[in-house]
Structures are given as C-alpha cells and as structure tokens.
Amino acid sequence: MKPHIGSLLLVLLLPGLTGCWDQRELKEIRIEDAEAFDLLENGKILFSISVPTIKLKKQAQSEVAVPILGAEGRTINEAYAEIKKTASQNLDFGKTRLILINKRLAQKSLYPALESYYREAHSPINVKMAIVDDSASKLLHLKAKDRLMVSEYVYELLQSGEDNGLIPKASPFLIYSMFTNHGTDATIPIVNPIGVDRAKISGLALFHNKQMTGELDSNASMSLIMLSKSKPDYFTITEKDNSSNMIVSLFMNRDGNRKIAVSNDKDSLRAVISADFTCDLVEVPDNIHFDDEMLKKLGSQLEQKLSERAKEVIKELQHANCDALGIGLEVKAHHYHYWKAIQWDKVYPGMSIEPKITINIVKRGLLE
C-alpha cells in the first residue's frame, strides 16, 4: 500500500514543479561581450556592441569573428532598437565584460549608460568600466595582436592595473552605492588607444554624484590609490635619491588599512589620512651599497615626496568636489550632528585634509 501512496504523492507534486522558466538557449541568442557609449556633438548617442560569432568552415574547422554593431539615437534605448534591426538573432547582454564611455557623456551623466544594468534581472556582475577621451566605439575596433577579442585585452589591461596599484576597481555595481550614498564619490579608469593595436591606462576620471568633474594623470592616480581603501598586491615606484643623486626603484606594500581621523574644533573640520608602507629596494646602481643610515635618509625623502604628491592629489579631488577617499563617511559616522547641519558639497572643497605617509625599507636588494 505504501508504494502506491508514494507514487500518488509524486503525481500530485508534478504540477508544482516550474522547471527552468527563464532559460535562454545559446543557439537562439547573440551574446554581447562589450558595449561602448558615445555622446556625439549633435547631441545623439552612438551605442556600439561587439558580438563574438563562431563561423564554421570546411572539414569541421571554425574561426571566431567579432563584428561591431552600432547605431545612433536620441536615447540609448532608441539606438539599441536600431541595432536590433541589423542583428540576425536576439541580443543578450548578460555576459558583457566591458563598458566603455566617452568623456563627453561621462561629463553629462553616467546613469543613462548604466541604467539597464540596475534594472535587468540577468545583468552581468563581473564587468569592468573605463572612460575614453575621444570615441569609445573606436576602442572597440582595436586590433590587439595578442588577444582574439578586444574586450578580453582591455579587460585584462584593467585587471593588471588594479593588481599593480595603478587604478581602483570600477563596475556598475561597485559605484552604485557612491551614486546613492552621500559622503563618497566614484573614480573610473581612463583608457585610450595607442595606434591600432594597443591601449594604455592614462589616468583616472573623478566623479561627483553621476557626473565627471575632473581627472588625474596616471602618476597622480597611484598616489590616490595609496591613500584609498583599495589594497592592491603591491606598488612600484622609481625615485631619485637626492643625497647620492641615484635613481632607485622600490616595491611597496601597505601595512594594514589606511586610517582617517576627523576632528571638528569649533566647526573647523580637519582630516588626517595615515598610511604605512613596508618597502623593498629592488633596483640600485651597480657597486652601490646602502647601509642603514642611507636607507633611513632615503625613507625620509620618500615620505616627504609622497606626502607632497598626495597633497597635490587631494587638492585636485577637492577642486573636482570628488570625495573619492570617503572622508564624508567618516564625518557622518563620528560627527553625525555636525553632518546633519551642513551641506557636505560646500564644506568638503575647503576643509583641511593632511596626508601622512610612513616608509619603512626592510630589504636593500636580492643579495643583501
């Protein structure tokens, strides 16, 4: 009797099984792997996508072609609708890895380019973003010799920059909280083509709310990363030792997290940002021996130089009204009543912010 009851229960449960209701057959769609957004001089949006396609040949051989589809429109959705008129199958952006936005659009607003990523349920998560000075769509036409697809090349270029402390991580979901959380602002890498087959990280775009308000060059970008909450694997710097007139290179690792101390004395706001680094001296002129005293002097010089550069970077951030270091969050957390009584957009550009960098050189070369 019991087997019959079990079979009856299984039959009754079958209508409740929904199965895979949201499946998308790969053979029925075209996958986008990169998107580019350009605001043109005429006010229209040029929306471009790359769509990797496998082309079958004779004798079971195949090759991958990466056509670039693009169209103009008054809005991004209108441009996307025009692209769909030229696509042979339904387009799917669920596997997109790269988003490129030209500077003109970024200065107006990032949100139109990212809105669909926040709205659609199947939006990709592991996406990287970059700003392009001139034309984002032209970067999609780059012919990287060492990679099959330009999206793969630029994605790995950005990943390498993050690992080496050149740029922060940037994706639609990482910067979303910065759009909605008053007290911190976003930064996005700037990438530009070099010739027809290479690209280069040329700096960092600074944002306030959803608009690009300034930029840093690649050297200043590293100084910002040193003071930010990002913690890459290491930093590499090359400096001149004034006492010996030599050029030396060092690997730097930050000890723990940076610290921000905010004080409010009679409504005079002041922030001190502290970061401690342990360094290895990895490249020195031949036949030069650095003793402990020389290392101490070199460390003091580096502290002074890096702190002065950090001060210049902070001035640029304040000029752009970009709180990329998240000082506003510290004020909000530790001085909440003061925070509620002020307009942070007006206080931040004029407040006192002091960087404090400490250098400790522990190694002086491979053989010492």
The SS3 assignment for 286 reads coil
Segment 99-125 mean pLDDT:
90
Question: pLDDT by residue (tens digit) across 331-354?
Answer: 999 999 999 999 999 999 999 999
pLDDT at 123: 83
Q: What length does the chain have?
A: 368
- Of 159, 98, 107, residue with least CA distance to 130: 98
pLDDT at 336: 92
Indicate the pLDDT class of residue 238, thresholds 50, 70 and 90: confident
Measured distance CA(204)–CA(184) in Å, rounded: 16
pLDDT at 3: 60
Indicate the pLDDT class of residue 26, thresholds 50, 70 and 90: low
Whether residue 291 has pLDDT greater than 80: no
Whether residue 106 has pLDDT greater than 60: yes
Paired tokens of 67: 């056509």
Question: pLDDT by residue (tens digit) across 166-184?
Answer: 999 999 988 887 777 788 9
pLDDT at 266: 76
CA distances from 115 to 46, 104, 123, 135, 155 (A): 16, 18, 11, 21, 21
Which residues have C-beta within 8 Å of that of residue 204, sequence separation ≥ 6? 167, 168, 187, 188, 189, 190, 215, 216, 218, 220, 221, 224
Segment 88-97 mean pLDDT:
81
Q: Specify the CATH architecture of the domain 234-368.
A: 2-Layer Sandwich (3.30)
Domain boundaries, the chain: 27-218, 234-368
Lowest mean pLDDT among 22-36, 62-76, 243-257: 22-36
Q: pTM to 2 decimals?
A: 0.86
Paired tokens of 147: 């990679």
- Of 99, 320, 314, residue with least CA distance to 224: 314
Average of per-residue pLDDT values in the chain = 85
Indicate the pLDDT class of residue 4, thresholds 50, 70 and 90: low
- DSSP E strand stretches across the chain: 29-31, 34-39, 45-50, 53-56, 62-65, 68-73, 90-92, 98-102, 128-132, 187-194, 198-208, 211-217, 235-241, 246-254, 259-265, 268-283, 352-363
319 vs 26 pLDDT, higher one? 319
- Of 305, 327, 318, residue with least CA distance to 350: 318
65 vs 208 pLDDT, higher one? 208
pLDDT at 52: 82
Whether residue 25 has pLDDT greater than 70: no
Whether residue 188 has pLDDT greater than 90: yes
The number of C-alpha atoms within 13 Å of 4 and in the hemisphere containing its C-beta is 1
* One-letter amino acid of 331: V
Indicate the pLDDT class of residue 2, thresholds 50, 70 and 90: low
CA geometry: angle 352, 358, 362, nearest 5 deg? 170
- Among residues of the chain, what percentage have pLDDT more than 70? 88
Rounded to 5 degrees, φ, ψ at 110 are: -80, -25
